[in-house]
Structure 1
Amino acid sequence: MKNINIMAGTSCLRVLRVHWIFFTAIVLAISCKRQEAAIQAEKEMVSTGKPQTELATCCWVSITNQATRKVEVYDPADASWTTPKWSWMPATALSYNATSELPLWDTPTDVKVRNNTVFANTAQVITATSYRLATIARYTGTGTRGQKLWVMGFNDTTRLHAMEILPDGNSVVASAGAAWPQGWIRIYSSSQPSPNHGVNTQYYFISAHAVLWDQTHQVLWALGNELRKYGYNTPRSGGTITNPKLDLLTSYTVLPSAWGHDLAADVNNPDQLYLTTNGGVYIFHISTGTFSDVPGAAQDTFVKAISSQPGQNTLVETKPGAGCTLNNWCTSVVNFYNATNGAAAGSRTVSGAAIYKGKTFDPNYY
């Protein structure tokens, strides 16, 4: 765990200040992190009646592994990422159709876990995309983990890159398109029972790559050739839960550099978002509508994924290159950085993996 900040509580911080016993500090830090997780687990058992082993926990990291075609989840506290805490892909045993759905799952591009009880007997769900498939699946609750709750298939020019589920169970998917100037985001009535769960409205958006629900400001952020802020089911949009719609509130048409890739909440500062483009990694300051560079080594080009770790002062990033030859956007390495100064804070390698995105597996909206 060299240099990765996974400590919890003031007792751990005191240990870290004793630099001359560095190894002992690391061991005790891991212990404190586990203790914090156990305390949180107890709270979750009280509130949900479910054991902690069924719940997504901070601060695991999920990867979209295009070599295995799976979503895989790992613990940064583990020095070796050889066995995931959980892995998933659509399967007939999880209620996915072998003819109309499974062939559309090929290169996983995005995954999120969210606290959501809209679907019967669920406490948490995952959303996941491949180029031609978007889905919501059970993560906790009564039933099989990973079981299909909602799915939508697309044609071979769609190139889905991201998905978000809204607190009411409806969802938004982002398509970069197969060629410029294609792309859109589309909002679905996924909260509704079949056949009404396919009602949708599409919004043209060049090279749409990321969507993120902002619970603090009650808006949807979307990133492509620009950054956009949308209202959801506002009076002006005329949307309803059965026919949801978005209302474009603001477009930030000039990014710090061209072509947005990923978007994430700064989980420790509700006035900030993190975003990546071809040219760098940036902080977006919501109250002022301005951008600034992330510091230090965390500032890099062609970063495909960024996220922050709650309470850890740590950023998680993936960029193409290291240890992967399957395609020109993959890597086998997840990198960690200090969020304050951008200093490199370690890495984890999944041997043989083709990671497109590696991100914090955090179930909370911010």
Structure 2
Amino acid sequence: MKNIMMKAGNSCLGSVCLNLTVFAGLVLSMASCARQAEQPPLKDPQPKNTGPKTELATCCWVATTNEVLNRIEVYDPADASWNSSTMKWSWMPTTALSYNATSEIPLWTAPTDIKVRNNTVFANTAQVITATSYRLATIARYTGTGTKGQKLWVMGFNDTTSLHAMEILPDGNCVVASAGKKWPQGWIRIYSSSQPSPNHGVNTQYYFASAHAVLWDATHQVLWALGNQLRKYKYNTVISGGTITNPKLELDTSYDSLPSPWGHDLAADVNNPDQLLLTTNGGVYTFHISTGTFDSIPGAAYGSFTKSISSQPGQNTLIETRPSSGCPLYPASDWCTSVVNFYNAASGAATGSRTVSGSAIYKAKAFDPNYY
């Protein structure tokens, strides 16, 4: 195992889920190149809601970002086949969900991130989703009184922005990560999304080259961010010097060198709150919070250009996506795949896969509503 001690300098996470039926299959994946320019996807005019309806997020379904149909799609690994008839839920911004047809919906192209979180800050909500595409970041209702998927907060961006992730904080404010179009562009912003319009757009920006992921860690009460390095930020309106209406972050520690260049994704290790899971252009790693060190993930789970990673509790399972030729947009869109891969978290051995034929998946993440 590769163990690297990183230099620390001064300067959203966890999951608890129920058991899931074990599945089998063969893994199909191949490494590819890093994600570059935005590609216009084909459009599906309306989201489809198929399969059984539920008022609570079933843990742990898997949410995918399908850039062919330009929507979020949620599946159950217990289903041997993933298709429109087995899909548990799907989502994209529509006018029926209160999104503006002129100023908001056209910005939703190529979805890049999806999370479901327990959060009751917004009136009559129990859970929310956060989602990004290249130029749109949003919080939407998942459970509670009201229409599932309805807009709660949204922010659009110009065409120089390349959004890759967002996280909601416990107080209802959120953090958005932009990788930028060219090196060394990139930033994270904290928004006052907990506030009513027009004050919900107040934000503070922090330069961060190639920012790709943000993750709230409720165990340690910090925000992790991944780009050309791994950073730990404090967030508390007293500690960070902001207010809930004008929130700020405070950089606590910067791990100056990743074990290989260019971070892509960041997730909780649901079986160990002292660890994070992260991917880069070069490989897949665990980060030990208490020691500030990285280890390479063993076996087949270690692979270059892995675009997303997350873990399933109780099953000792990792979920990953890597670019592959089965994607209908590949190789022109060299970040996509139609295959979601599963691995044993301890050994890294492949344990199965699911294919969504005709899809262009960037990320596949455990659809897990809980923080630690």
Q: Tell me, yes or no, whether TM beats 0.5.
A: yes
Matched, 1:169 2:169: no
Matched, 1:178 2:181: yes
- SS at the partner of 1:140? strand
Structure-2 residue corresponding to 1:310:
313
Alpha-carbon distance between aligned partners in 1 of 2:312 and 2:105, rounded to the nearest angstrom: 33
Structure-1 residue corresponding to 2:55:
54
TM-score, scaled relative to structure 2: 0.85
Counterpart amino acid of residue 97 in structure 1 = N
Q: What are the equivalent positions in structure 2 for 1:6-25 lying under 5 Å apart?
A: 8=19
Asked if the contact 2:19–2:313 (Cα under 8 Å) also holds between the matched residues in 1, the reply is no
- SS at the partner of 2:300? helix
Matched, 1:278 2:281: yes
Alpha-carbon distance between aligned partners in 2 of 1:74 and 1:334, rounded to the nearest angstrom: 11
Q: Which runs of 4+ in 1 moved over 4 A?
A: 6-9
Q: Give the greater-gyration-radius structure (CA).
A: 1
Where in structure 1 are there 5+ consecutive unaligned residues? 1-5, 17-24, 27-50
Taking a change above 3 Å as real, the CA distance of residues 8 and 234 of structure 1, as seen in their structure-2 partners, is closer
Alpha-carbon distance between aligned partners in 2 of 1:75 and 1:256, rounded to the nearest angstrom: 33
- SS at the partner of 1:297? helix
Deviation, 1:325, is: 3.6
Q: Percent identity?
A: 80
Alpha-carbon distance between aligned partners in 2 of 1:126 and 1:7, rounded to the nearest angstrom: 19
Q: What are the equivalent positions in structure 2 for 1:64-75 lying under 5 Å apart?
A: 64-75=65-76
Structure-2 residue corresponding to 1:46:
none
Matched, 1:260 2:268: no
Matched, 1:188 2:194: no
Q: What are the equivalent positions in structure 2 for 1:102-181 lying under 5 Å apart?
A: 102-181=105-184
Deviation, 1:310, is: 1.7
Alpha-carbon distance between aligned partners in 2 of 1:56 and 1:353, rounded to the nearest angstrom: 23
Deviation, 1:138, is: 0.4
Counterpart amino acid of residue 346 in structure 1 = G
- SS at the partner of 1:197? helix
Deviation, 1:7, is: 9.6
Alpha-carbon distance between aligned partners in 2 of 1:52 and 1:215, rounded to the nearest angstrom: 29
Greater RCO (Cα-Cα under 8 Å, separation 6 or more): 2
Counterpart amino acid of residue 343 in structure 1 = A
Structure-1 residue corresponding to 2:34:
none
Alpha-carbon distance between aligned partners in 1 of 2:239 and 2:269, rounded to the nearest angstrom: 29
TM-score, scaled relative to structure 1: 0.86
Alpha-carbon distance between aligned partners in 2 of 1:364 and 1:242, rounded to the nearest angstrom: 25
Alpha-carbon distance between aligned partners in 2 of 1:235 and 1:158, rounded to the nearest angstrom: 31
Alpha-carbon distance between aligned partners in 2 of 1:57 and 1:230, rounded to the nearest angstrom: 30
Taking a change above 3 Å as real, the CA distance of residues 190 and 88 of structure 1, as seen in their structure-2 partners, is same
Matched, 1:354 2:356: no
Q: Which has the higher helix share?
A: 1
Structure-2 residue corresponding to 1:319:
322
Give the count of matched residue pairs.
324
Deviations 1:239-269 (A, max 9, x none): 1111110000000011000000000000110
Where in structure 2 are there 5+ consecutive unaligned residues? 1-16, 25-51
Deviation, 1:235, is: 3.8
